[in-house]
Amino acid sequence: MKKLILITLLVLFTGALVTGFAQSEKYLKNRIMLEGMYIRNLGNFGEVWSKAAGAYIGYSLAFPDHDLLMMRTGFISNSLKDGVEYQEATSTIIPLEIGERYYFIDSRFMPFVQFMNGINILFENTNLEGEKEDKTLVKYAWQVGFGITINLIENLNIDVGANYQSNFYKTEGMNTGFKYAFGIGLAL
């Protein structure tokens, strides 16, 4: 699955470079975005909570030619790793993030790099050692990644992206991982 996503992104990125420079219409605009995501957690955190899924909703401000300032929030639910038997354990995250996408070209196919940072509000009822304890934690988080925005029509686009993320859960159990996202945007 990972190889398929990577190959798809490379093909789309190459297509964007080949066809993008011939486009003269401007597609970079303010937009509302809705994204779904899958996260593969790594490290000590990933030994207990192996994966996560969720959604973002956000608003973006476009700056001429290349930059998009993004603000978003969402809901992420972590899933226990197979074989971990913590009874009724839950771990959910509410992210509050701000960041930037840099688009290499403004055309129908728009490859980008992005950096996001903010805070995660983490709600858990079981710690990494399996001890029951209801806690609410507020932790700094950042992510960096790449992707492509494909403008289907003038005001509707889809996004595909991959990010490396790090959420400062605990020193001995950093919540790092790879996040894969697919989204829909409506330009305003």
Please give the mean pLDDT across all residues of the chain.
87
For residue range 18-34, what is the model confidence (pLDDT) as tens digits? Answer: 444 444 578 899 999 99
The answer to whether 142 and 126 have CB atoms below 8 angstroms apart is: no
52-56, 100-104, 127-131, 132-136: which range is least confident on average?
A: 127-131
Identify the CATH number of the domain in which residue 18 sits: 2.40.160.20
What range does the domain containing 58 cover? Answer: 2-187
Helix (H, G, I), strand (E, B) or coil at 35: strand
Residues near 11 by beta carbon (within 8 Å), at least 6 away in sequence: none
- How many CB atoms within 10 Å of residue 20? 18
pTM of the model: 0.82
Split into its structural domains, the chain has a count of: 1
